Structure 1
Amino acid sequence: MKLLQTEGAERTVRLDPRTKMFLLLAVSTVLLLGGSTPALLAVRGLMLLFPFGLLAISGRWRAALLLLVLYFASYALMAVSPGIPFLATGVLNAVVVGSCTVLTRFVPTVATGYFVLSTTTVSEFMAAMERLRAPQWLTIPLSVLFRFFPTLAEEARSIGKAMRMRGVSLARKGPLALVEYRLVPLMACSVRIGEDLSAASLTRGLGTPGKRTNICRIGFHWQDAAVFLVCALALGLLLFDLMCPKAL
């Protein structure tokens, strides 16, 4: 029955699913392609506040804090690596700078994706995709994806508890045994979860050609308009900078 549940946890930030998808697109685009001019640096800083702020406001303080610490640690290491002798040059410098660059670019996007997945139910997502006239070949896999990662995380926690009860840990058994006892069961569970979720989606009538009904209510409010306005301005400034590099 857990696979059929669509009710999310209590939320203090109520945004329309379409607003969340546009926010995810805007954050990932601005942080990946943002320039180095003062105006775009300010825009990047503003867009950086969105994912961590929304996670904190929605009650997910631990996830927001961990991702924020990871972001600033990567940014600080990338900034001070030229002054550290054994990190200043060579292969190690390339690995450290490359890894930190990837983390600083993708951690905010991961935080935004986590916010979208954790605060959007399957029913809300399906209703939003129907409002957007999205085809079923796109809607059904994405709706399965919304339940896949939370279920997989729950299975991973259960496997971890079972291994700790049996004394399987990195210090005692080594990395190879840890991969065997943790990764292999998780891969088997992921295959089973995918099959169960696909069957549950078809059971709920997601593949029917007719129009579905939804009991959830979605719609735009003042907070959606504010998020849309900020994201649109950020994307507009980024596009203007790409078309006219010396204007800003």
Structure 2
Amino acid sequence: MKPELLLSVDSKQSFWIDPRTKLYMLVIFSIVMIDGKTDGISFWLKPILALIPFFLLLSGRRKKIAIIYLIVFIVSWTVNVFLVPYMGLIGTIIISLLAQFGTRWFPSAMMGYYLLSTTKVSEFVLAMQRMHIPEAFIIPFSVMFRFFPTISEEAGSIGNAMRMRGITGKNFFKNPQAVLEYRIVPLMMSVVTIGNDLSAAALTRGLGNGKKRTSICKIGFHWKDFALMIIVTAALLVFLLF
């Protein structure tokens, strides 16, 4: 098993920022990008703000995801601004839903992906403790950080095993029972087992004992954190005031 799957992060990062900065940026993105406005100041503000996850993903060595995200956003924004207003009712409903997903939800989703994929569990727990978040919230989130990467690896292993037996997603309509029985059911069983194991591991490490935990991780705000927070805060103020 790859170490980064358990840590949810690569050991080497060229552009490290504090987990609290990532959370703050995720909240701002959820507020600004979720709005459906594309005229006025939003015509310039949202595309500029949407570039932040792209550069962050590049700095986190997620080049493929970054390029896919940029292409999806550009296409969705172009369709939403220049094509949808001139289409018929039925075409507008169908295409607009897809375009709205790419412009309103996808940037926030990429910020969430960046948070999960570039933050160590220990860093996240320490950041939450410094924010005085109750452990009732810290424990589930710490389990979540390990849960999704582990499930992703488990799904890949099941898929590889089933491909050797000729059972793939392409055969779903030919033999849906086999796909459900040999791919979906084992994955569901693994989800339950992995969730229980990770919860037990979190409690074994001392989470939930009611005492202050020590940590070997070092987190803190640097100039990059302040710069990013100033940029997204300014974007929020411009969005709210104009």
Q: What TM-score do the two structures reach when normalised by structure 2?
A: 0.88
Q: Deviations over 1:129-182 (max 9, x none)?
A: 111011111111111111111111111111111111111124445272434433
Q: Which residue of 1 aligns with 2:232?
A: 231
Q: What is the CA RMSD across the aligned residues, in angstroms?
A: 2.4
Q: What is the aligned-residue identity percentage?
A: 41
* Distance across 2 between alignment mates of 1:132 and 1:206: 16
Using the TM superposition, give the Cα deviation of residue 77 of structure 1 relative to its aligned residue in structure 2, in angstroms: 4.5
1:170-224 residue CA offsets vs partner (Å, 9 max, x unmatched): 4445272434433222222111111111000000010111100010000000000
Shift of 1:53: 1.1
Distance verdict in 2 for CA 1:70–1:163, change over 3 Å: farther
Counterpart AA for 1:80: L
The correspondence of residues 105-184 of structure 1 with structure 2, limited to 5 A, is: 105-174=104-173, 176=176, 177-184=178-185
Give the corresponding residue for 2:193.
192
The alignment status of 1:101 with 2:100, answered yes or no, reads yes
Distance 2:122 2:104 in 1: 31
**Counterpart residue type for residue 48 of structure 2:** L
Counterpart pick for 2:17 among 15, 18, 36: 15
Distance 1:134 1:200 in 2: 20
Aligned counterpart in structure 2 of residue 80 of structure 1, from 67, 80, 83? 83
Which structure 1 residue ranges, 4+ long, deviate > 6 Å from structure 2? 1-4
- Alignment check: 8 A CA contact 1:3 1:200 kept: no
User: In structure 1, what is the equivalent of residue 52 of structure 2?
Assistant: 50
Give the residue type in structure 1 aligned to 2:34. Answer: L
Secondary structure at 1:215 match in 2: coil
* Gap regions ≥5 residues in structure 2: none
TM-score scaled to structure 1, two decimals?
0.86
Q: Which deviates the most, 151-160 or 180-189?
A: 180-189
The 8 Å contact of residues 5 and 146 in structure 2, kept in 1 or not, is answered as: no
SS at match of 1:198: helix
Deviation at 1:89, TM superposition (A): 3.4
- Gapped regions of structure 1 (runs ≥ 5): 242-248
Structure 1 CA distance, aligned partners of 2:77 and 2:43? 14
- The secondary structure found in structure 2 opposite 1:33 is coil
User: Take 1:89 and 1:4, find their aligned partners in 2: how far apart are those partners?
Assistant: 45
**Equivalent-residue separation in structure 2 for 1:6 and 1:171 (angstroms):** 33
